[in-house]
Structure 1
Amino acid sequence: MASLLFRQARVFDGESVHTDYDVLVVDGKIAQLGSAIEAPADAEIIEAHGKTLLPGLIDSHTHAKPPALEMALTFGVTTELDMFSDPAWMTEQRREAQTRNSMADVRSAMTGASVAGGHPTGLVGVVFDKQCPVLENAEDAEAFVAARVAEGADYFKLVIEDGTILGHEVPRLSDEMVYALVAAAHAQGLMAVAHAMTVELALLAIRAGVDGLMHVAGDRLMTDEEVAEVAQSGIFVVPTLSTMASVYGDKHGQHLAEDDRTRPLLSDAWAENLCQCWHLTNPGSTANVIDATRRLYEAGVDVLAGSDAVTVGVPGTAHGVSMHGELELLVDCGLSPAAALRAATLLPAKRFSLDDRGRIAPGLQADLVLVDGDPTTDVRQTLSIEGVWRRGEQAPRIGQAEGVGTASAASAVAG
């Protein structure tokens, strides 16, 4: 593999900004960064003055049904963190991602924990091909988690959903099950993360000891005491603002579908999907989610960027594209553009123990995105992509195949 030298770029290294910096990539890894680096004889020179070099983006909440990972990479997402998908899909995709640099890398919870008739068991054909295993009682928690370890799960996902936000009641994991599952996951060495879309269920998850919340609830405003409790717990949150906006009937993705920088790279089906939203009868609002995210961030909670993109038919999102909308919404929550970028690079790498990525530093994997302009002052510039590299190899930026799985998606919200 030839060396790469990015010359005179503005470099956001995951923490801070450096101007007129060179970055040298050798054998798929960052070799050196600084001023006036001498180019190796075999180096490809990329003149980057006026452009910004970013670490590859990490989407901290997706459901990576093919062709999700190819699509993600097109838009600068070099790693997806899958939060409940068919283990057969995920095993094959993880295997492919080890050798193919034309798709994003992926980590997965594999099968998440739910109960018979609970969310998301109604999404057969969307999140998985056949009905997934469910938990019957708290005594089975240890065996359930062990089965996820056998599937190859990188972390453990609990779905604590009573249907409040779906607009209809569904069975959920009991409190006893939640406590038992979190304890079993930690005993197996897995981080435990939870889907919880109401404040009360989020607090249940926190009190049970989860490491992260994969949504920020918007059914009501959080009290100051509740915000303090979340902050004191030390957990992280992934607000999934794009999805929560869709859940509350807001078409936040429409402007992304109509952007000249994205539309040529989107199929008609994915563009239409971005322009849609859920039509549910539920308490709360997008404004509540934004308010909670702002206050949690101000209280010192680590906020990570994640889209909850699934597939065509689950409205409001698209793989890769929606991460850019998520960054915009994080800025609306009071994060600076640089802090929003950290939420998509440094912080998920730290929280999910992805020690070889998330920053631009010597020895780390050369997952990189070059954009025109300065997204550290205007985060909307992340969509002005000049090139994407995974492990030092430039990725193709091509339109994607039509999505699949529209039939059953309209009955429930993705996890």
Structure 2
Amino acid sequence: MCAINRRGLLRTAGLTAAAVGSSTLLGACAGDTPQRSPGLTAITNARIFDGERVLDQRTVLIEGGSIVAVTGTPPSHAQIVDAAGATLLPGLIDSHVHTSEEGLRDALLFGVTTELEMQGGFDAAGRRSIADRDDLADVRSAGFGLTAPGGHPSELVPDDAGPDTGDGQGPPEGESSANPAASEVTTPEEAIAAVRTRAEGGSDFIKIMIEDGHVLGAPGLPMMSEATVRAAVLEARRLGKLTVAHTLTAAATEQAVAAGMDGLAHLFVDRPHTPQIIENVVRSGAFVTPCLCLNASIMGRTGAGLAADPRVGPKLSPEWLATLNGSLDKYPQGDFDAVLATVAALHTAGVDILVGTDVSVAWPELGGMAHGASVHHEMQLLVQAGLTPIAALTAATSTPARRFGLLDRGRIAAGARADLLLVAGDPTTKISDSLSIKEVWRRGVRQARK
């Protein structure tokens, strides 16, 4: 067991190491970096889900960091991985996280090869130090999201949490030098400037907070005006940046859709859906990342069932097990069945649904989720909502890759990155089989078994 530097993630959430405590991870330490197999590797006798459907072919050839062919018979000179009785999937994508090196390492243990950070330090500058590392999941980031001064997520920051400035030699490990205060805006002009700052600083997409706080136990949070939000969306569009909105209420959802957001990073929890709100989302063309694990946590539900799964618990540190067993518990009056019904209605109407968890730090008060593991729980909840297992798998692979413009991943096809997950059984018919992990490849590198 080795200690992991967690400063980047703590600062992302506005927490200090003292506020949360130290953390360790059961897994690879420095020097345990997985190695890419030389030459051609053939994963054969597999059931292959390509990100959209199950293929007739049974063999995938990988070389270097890429898939070179999907075929029926492996060449004689290839190194063989016999996958009889198993299913080969594209590496999974978590479309809503707040992460760290520890989080990226845990994600990869569970076959999550890409995390999309919705607030944090892993923009283009922040991830330079890990760009060549294949023992961590890949990451794309919004940097710091736009919010009103004193707005969300300030209510989640402990009163005594001071700044963590690292060692004085620049930003802490895994962080850009972006100033989160530069994203606090009050006018359309300030929003335009903040979007430009985010884009120039290397944010891959733009996150915009629309949150009044009443479902998070903090009613009356300051919010940006509708004109300010619209100005931010228009400037992001001018710069070719995707916009994603934090929306936990129906009113916030309606505002985000009216402003022209490309995606909704949450599903509202304050009331059941109506035909009108479903129609408005459909008309907008926005995708929805429901974050059902997070919604359950807001309502006081924990991830205890997932933590008790023998395929999960042994891979997590004590801190993350405690976190998975915790919950936010800010809106116990919420109706989770109504949330599931909203997901079903959106999916039936043709809205793109993405798997995301909103996992952040190892802190039980923000609990119910854990990096990597909760992606599998989220897919189970999507199936509970009425999606087929194949639709749930698509929501964790090809759909987020397409919507976020990551066209080199999320599919098993010639030319794609060799980000792959091999599981026992058949998750295309029994979604919980996705946790029966046999092998993980990240950019062609076969990961050490845990």
TM over 0.5: yes
Distance 1:180 1:324 in 2: 37
Q: Which residue of 272, 277, 280 corresponds with 2:327?
A: 277
Q: Secondary structure at the match of 2:140?
A: strand
Conserved in 2, the CA contact under 8 Å of 1:8 and 1:19?
A: no
> What percentage of aligned pairs have identical amino acids?
43
Report the equivalent of 1:316.
368
Q: Which residue of 62, 66, 69 corresponds with 2:97?
A: 62
Q: Aligned letter for 2:91?
A: G
Report the equivalent of 1:80.
115
Per the TM alignment, residue 6 of structure 1 is displaced from its structure 2 partner at its CA by 0.6
Report the equivalent of 2:260.
209
Report the equivalent of 1:341.
393
Distance 2:367 2:384 in 1: 21
Per the TM alignment, residue 3 of structure 1 is displaced from its structure 2 partner at its CA by 2.0
1:247-286 equivalence runs, <5 A:
247-251=298-302, 253-281=303-331, 284-286=334-336
Q: Which residue of 182, 191, 212 corresponds with 1:162?
A: 212
Q: Which residue of 261, 281, 299 corresponds with 1:230?
A: 281
Report the equivalent of 1:173.
224
Q: Which residue of 33, 40, 50 corresponds with 1:3?
A: 40
Per the TM alignment, residue 93 of structure 1 is displaced from its structure 2 partner at its CA by 5.4
1:102-113 equivalence runs, <5 A:
102-113=135-146
1:366-405 equivalence runs, <5 A:
366-398=418-450
Per the TM alignment, residue 37 of structure 1 is displaced from its structure 2 partner at its CA by 2.5
Q: Secondary structure at the match of 1:303?
A: coil
Cα deviation per residue 1:174-193 (whole Å; 9 max; x = unaligned)?
11111111111111110111
What TM-score does the superposition give when structure 2 sets the normalisation length?
Answer: 0.84
Q: Aligned letter for 2:421?
A: V
Q: Which residue of 149, 168, 182 corresponds with 1:116?
A: 149
Distance 2:87 2:193 in 1: 48
Report the equivalent of 1:27.
64
**Quick check: 1:189 aligned with 2:270?**
no
Report the equivalent of 1:327.
379
Q: Aligned letter for 1:102?
A: D
Single out whichever of 73-82 and 139-148 deviates more from structure 2. Answer: 139-148
Report the equivalent of 1:49.
84
Cα deviation per residue 1:216-265 (whole Å; 9 max; x = unaligned)?
101001111111111121110000000110001112x1111111111111
Q: Which residue of 144, 149, 152 corresponds with 2:202?
A: 152
Distance 2:209 2:164 in 1: 18
**Quick check: 1:365 aligned with 2:417?**
yes
Q: Aligned letter for 1:2?
A: G
Count of aligned positions: 393
Per the TM alignment, residue 285 of structure 1 is displaced from its structure 2 partner at its CA by 2.3
Q: Secondary structure at the match of 1:24?
A: strand
Conserved in 1, the CA contact under 8 Å of 2:97 and 2:359?
A: yes
Per the TM alignment, residue 94 of structure 1 is displaced from its structure 2 partner at its CA by 2.0
Cα deviation per residue 1:279-298 (whole Å; 9 max; x = unaligned)?
22465322221111110101
Q: Aligned letter for 2:348?
A: E
Conserved in 2, the CA contact under 8 Å of 1:59 and 1:323?
A: yes
Conserved in 2, the CA contact under 8 Å of 1:218 and 1:292?
A: no
Conserved in 1, the CA contact under 8 Å of 2:422 and 2:439?
A: yes
Report the equivalent of 2:54.
17
- Root mean square deviation, CA, Å: 1.8
Q: Aligned letter for 1:30?
A: I
Instruction: Please list every run of 5 or more consecutive structure 2 residues that lacks an aligned counterpart in the other structure.
Output: 1-37, 166-179
Per the TM alignment, residue 91 of structure 1 is displaced from its structure 2 partner at its CA by 5.0
Q: Secondary structure at the match of 2:258?
A: helix
Per the TM alignment, residue 124 of structure 1 is displaced from its structure 2 partner at its CA by 5.2
Single out whichever of 166-175 and 362-371 deviates more from structure 2. Answer: 166-175
Distance 1:93 1:265 in 2: 27
1:400-411 equivalence runs, <5 A:
none
Distance 1:281 1:262, change over 3 A: closer
Conserved in 2, the CA contact under 8 Å of 1:165 and 1:283?
A: no
Q: Secondary structure at the match of 2:115?
A: strand
Conserved in 2, the CA contact under 8 Å of 1:58 and 1:81?
A: yes
Distance 2:208 2:333 in 1: 22
Q: Which residue of 279, 295, 299 corresponds with 2:349?
A: 299
Per the TM alignment, residue 44 of structure 1 is displaced from its structure 2 partner at its CA by 2.3
Conserved in 2, the CA contact under 8 Å of 1:113 and 1:159?
A: yes
Single out whichever of 170-179 and 19-28 deviates more from structure 2. Answer: 19-28
